[in-house]
Amino acid sequence: MRRDNLARALLDRVQHPTQMVALGFGLAVLAGSLLLSLPVATTTGEPAGWLTALFTATSAVCVTGLIVVDTPGHWSAFGEVVIALLIQIGGLGIMTMATLLTLLISGRLGLRARLLAQTETKSMSMQDVRRVLGRVVVFSLVCEAAVAAVLTARFLTGYGEPPGRALYLGVFHAISAFNNAGFALWPDNLMGFVTDPWICLPIAVAVILGGLGFPVVFELLRSWRRPGRWTIVTRITVMLTVVLLLGGTLVFLFTEWHNPGTLGPLDGRGKALAAFFTAVMPRTAGFNSLDLAQLHPSSLLATDVLMFIGGGTAGTAGGIKVTTLGLVGYIVWAELRAESRVNVGHRRLAESAQRQTMTLITISAALVVGSTYVLMVLTPHELNKVLFEVVSAFATVGLSTGITADIPAAGQVLLVLLMFVGRIGPLTLGSALALRERTRRYELPVERVVIG
């Protein structure tokens, strides 16, 4: 009885839905850290250090993929299953899972549950939340099952894995791929499969589908033949996704074609596959089929940009989202043309969306720059590698040049905070920290300010 009173008191204290989102992810990280700190979670039977458990749990829940220990070498089968479950929970969203449990138990949705689900899934109408959640779960499980089937068959027939092991590898990597996590069960990630399309392409497709965002996927399934009826979000997401995938592939082909540490030893088909795979992963999954430490500095910079942009809204990807990038482009174009309104196609962009876009860009850039400075002070590594690590953590990508384990404890804690903030989102986290919203009841005089 006392526990119920405490839980009710906690819920009463947390009024804003975004606070519940942050709290839910925080509790999931805590639970995952406790499970991974158990002796049974490691191959040696010795408890993992608190920072190792915390870092790995945060990386899994925030579907990032950064690691400080070798996943197959350090974690037991129990630990790997815990990581997979944390990835699945983080990908679907803590609030989505909580709302589904509410549906199963009570058969109905209360106002607070609807608000929580709306916050997590970015659905546009509270009345649609119940239907949207069902589609989200079904779509996720169907995609994961399809990818798992292809991978299992390939591991079974192409690499001689026993049926049980092949199924385990297929399911784990399907979950990790669709949820844009990037955890792999080989010490070199997927470098051993760099020229295998039956491994790389299913994983790449899963990453793209998970990173598009559930609202975009549903709209494409519903009206893919009528692009004129697409919403602003779908139009921008599809357009920029194609541009970034093609552009990224061409950039890596051009820069790394003769690099002996990356694409150089591969034939033409292998180079095309590896370049495409490398362009997909910054969207944001931490798989790599090439040694990222051997990339040319210009390729590292291009990857930084792709990671910072990320994937689609309300999907499993991180970053500032392609929608944000697209809206910035429309805002700048409207300003250059001296237009007072920002129009996207046949729709006008709300002023609140413009403010949120610029706020998100500013906060994200400030976090990346500030964190890069701190890590430069704490570590002896070069700027390009430190910046790569920071952007990868903030954008919940998980790609690394191999310096994560060498970063001191203070720097790893900073990366943990970046992963958490990157998954929750700067605006969501800021709203969660604000106890109440205030509306100004008066207007101040306007003053024109010279810009630039």
Closest alpha carbon to 19 in 439, 396, 438, 430: 430
Closest alpha carbon to 207 in 240, 173, 177: 177
β-bridge pairing 343-344 and 347-348: antiparallel
Q: Please state which of the ranges 278-287, 314-323, 370-379 shows the lowest mean pLDDT.
A: 314-323
Predicted TM-score of the model (pTM): 0.88
Q: Which helix (H) or strand (E) holds 421?
A: helix 409-424
Mean pLDDT is highest, among 23-32, 126-135, 210-219, for: 23-32
Q: What is the DSSP letter of 88?
A: H
DSSP, residue by residue, 219-241: HHHHHTT-GGG--HHHHHHHHHH
Please give the structure tokens belonging to residue 57: 């749990």
Please give the structure tokens belonging to residue 252: 């890596």
Q: Is residue 421 within 8 Å of residue 394, measured between CB atoms?
A: yes
- Checking if the pLDDT of 114 tops 70, the result is no
Three-state DSSP state, 347 = strand
pLDDT at 228 (0 to 100): 76
Please give the structure tokens belonging to residue 439: 């509306």
- Tell me the per-residue pLDDT of 137-173, one tens digit each, with 9 for 90 and over: 888 999 999 999 999 999 999 999 999 999 999 999 9
d(C-alpha 265, C-alpha 271), whole Å: 9
d(C-alpha 150, C-alpha 185), whole Å: 17
d(C-alpha 313, C-alpha 232), whole Å: 12
- Tell me the per-residue pLDDT of 92-106, one tens digit each, with 9 for 90 and over: 875 565 454 444 445
pLDDT at 113 (0 to 100): 59
Contacts of 223-232 with CB under 8 Å at 24 or more apart are: 231/347, 232/344, 232/345, 232/347, 232/349
Q: Is residue 368 within 8 Å of residue 383, measured between CB atoms?
A: no
Q: Is residue 275 within 8 Å of residue 200, measured between CB atoms?
A: no
Angstrom CA distances, 166 to 160, 185, 199, stand at: 9, 12, 12
pLDDT at 97 (0 to 100): 56
HSE-up of residue 277 (Cα within 13 Å, Cβ side):
32
